[in-house]
A and B are shown apart, each in its own frame.
Chain A
């Protein structure tokens, strides 16, 4: 394989791995903060127990998130030296700000995890606030950088190819930032909420019916449900924004080849380039135009209007998009059902089919989030900086990239398996201790 493919594969694997830990790094501190706060107010030990368990799990998750994130900051340069040489001065600022967010997060997490006996209960609880805030800020900052890759602003190219008029603040606040950043942030809470709920739903299925499991499930679902609503709203805004700002990506979402008015949404199916059509899809006429511009007759630009070298891979983008939206809508319905039953019966619904669905919702939310990133990243191709720098021009020329890929792939698999085993071990220990 060539360097370009290998560099992409390595980058994509590393990001796809890191993001799972990153979203928990955003969401779990908030849950710990809430649970420990409830303990401080009510003095009910179950809340404290929840906070302590999450903190222990977070100790492992954060370490893996930190090392995989470190891998990423190196890989940006190691795999894409020309991209970084070109872009560093423009979009480096949010990364530097993120560095400080990491500092604060790591410092206060150290206090939180190791400080149960050294800090007063209130001081201990307070130390979770900077962790939760800087976790969210890391996400906000790093997605600004990604947003800039989608809609690069804040600089001009002189006729000799030199950068002029560099404005890093304008680059950080590029037009994609207001849509991408909120969508990512709320998605982090969606995933955390569903994953936590899945853990306690699984426990309840095994007839470990106690207050701890019920409250864990309720708190997880509270986070998941409020965030999934926001996720739908912000996702819709994102889609409308790329209709204007990244027309090739937008066309690929639904496999629109020919410029049309009254463009359909295609549910499922495979876009086939040679037929200029999404084969095997259920078509909902005019819906795409309606969603994109609130006008069923709005024109959607087709992929064929772009030179062949400038088109993203419609199959990958369309299937990823369907996966995100499909899982997103299903998860939304599930959360609605859970809370409807809860409110109707005034007690937590514990029917087994529902619990099974909630167990499945955990991994499903991760798939939705990963799919969303595939939409963003594959949809930007062939550009690493949209319309400015091609991914093929940015890859490194270093040798033995294949080996790097294999090694990192193996490391991630090993880390994933070990993390899972240690979390299970921890759960067993919690049970025997209780």
Chain B
């Protein structure tokens, strides 16, 4: 693999981390909005407790992605920024409002739990942000132009992304609330989200050859083994949810996100923006790539132990039961 290829893979890993971690935070917002039943208040509190200490760190994966992209692939970054101006600007509004609303509500007048303006803002923005970020991905799958983000297929990808976020969050929250009455609430939500995500995935796959030739080419080509694995894993995840196996469900759903993203990446390798822009052609000069690899290496040495401490302290036991 070329040096540019290694960096592209690292950036895709960062995107994967963002999707799995921040995706669950966005999904938390969805379930805050759709908190229901007699325990709606406790559901919202569980979301807030689980997200509080980690969402800001989870969010940095996106920043890392962006800065890495413009350092290593500046011309591709320029093209993406121009063509995806509209969806990314909307996503940005969502990201800003999501974070601010979450923090404002946590420090606001009323205790988290009841329906509140900031709560609604938090939930709505948690849908807008992943939806429009994903239409950007959809735009690349369809074939990047300045309007392809608005293609129906891109919107389908947007819906799929939101449903995956909700699915992720619900299974995480099943684990966080294990052995409390909330667990069955979140199991029910996970089942709904899982079925919706599954249906959307099948539709996306079915339409891909017609609407998104780039994606179809990737998934039916080199990405096929991973795509097949994703199909099997998707069934495992649904089964784990319906049988109340929170820990298995959480791993399987996170794994689903990983498999889908990597099936696509492996499939379209070595294209960066198919069909024309390749990873090597868009790469910065090798002096930049060398330096970036060093920065990433040194940074990871500091980052990984820090992350380990964070998740150890806050995710070791059931936080909803502690606070």
A and B from one assembly?
yes
Interface residues, chain A, with chain B CB atoms under 8 Å away: 56, 59-60, 62-64, 66-71, 73-78, 81-82, 84-90, 92-93, 95-100, 102-104, 106-111, 113-115, 118-119, 130, 163-164, 166-169, 396-398, 400, 404, 407-408, 411, 415, 418-419, 422, 425-426
Q: How far is the CA of A59 from the CA of B60 in the complex (A)?
A: 16
Residues B232-249 near A (CB distance < 8 A): none
> Are B96 and A89 in contact, with the CB atoms below 8 A?
no
User: Given contacts A96-B295, A422-B107, are A85 and B77 in contact (CB under 8 A)?
Assistant: yes
Nearest neighbor of B307 in chain A, beta-carbon distance: A107
Contact of B93 among A56, A77, A407, A422 (CB under 8 A): A407
User: Given contacts A71-B96, A88-B74, A88-B77, are A59 and B107 in contact (CB under 8 A)?
Assistant: yes
Q: Size class of B's contact patch? A: 35 or more
Interface presence of B137 (CB below 8 A): no
Secondary structure dominating the interface of B: helix
> Are A118 and B313 in contact, with the CB atoms below 8 A?
yes
Q: How far is the CA of A75 from the CA of B85 in the complex (A)?
A: 10
> Are A166 and B288 in contact, with the CB atoms below 8 A?
yes
B309 shortest CB reach to chain A, Å: 7
Nearest neighbor of B310 in chain A, beta-carbon distance: A107
Count of A-B residue pairs with CB < 8 Å: 212
Interface residues, chain B, with chain A CB atoms under 8 Å away: 52-54, 56-57, 59-60, 62-64, 66-68, 70-75, 77-82, 85-86, 88-89, 92-93, 95-100, 102-104, 106-109, 146, 284-285, 287-288, 291-292, 295-296, 298-299, 302-303, 306-307, 309-310, 313-314
> Are A92 and B288 in contact, with the CB atoms below 8 A?
yes
> Are A73 and B95 in contact, with the CB atoms below 8 A?
no
Known: A107-B303, A118-B314. 13 other contacts (CB 8 A): A66-B99, A67-B98, A74-B92, A84-B81, A85-B74, A87-B74, A92-B288, A100-B303, A106-B56, A110-B56, A115-B53, A408-B93, A415-B100
A366 shortest CB reach to chain B, Å: 20
User: Given contacts A73-B66, A76-B70, are A114 and B299 in contact (CB under 8 A)?
Assistant: no
Q: How far is the CA of A396 from the CA of B81 in the complex (A)?
A: 9
> Are B284 and A104 in contact, with the CB atoms below 8 A?
no
User: Given contacts A70-B59, A93-B291, A422-B108, are A110 and B95 in contact (CB under 8 A)?
Assistant: no
Nearest neighbor of B285 in chain A, beta-carbon distance: A166
> Are A103 and B80 in contact, with the CB atoms below 8 A?
no
> Are A404 and B89 in contact, with the CB atoms below 8 A?
yes
> Are B78 and A98 in contact, with the CB atoms below 8 A?
no
> Are A163 and B299 in contact, with the CB atoms below 8 A?
no
Most interface-central of A73, A163, A396 (chain B CB within 10 A)? A73
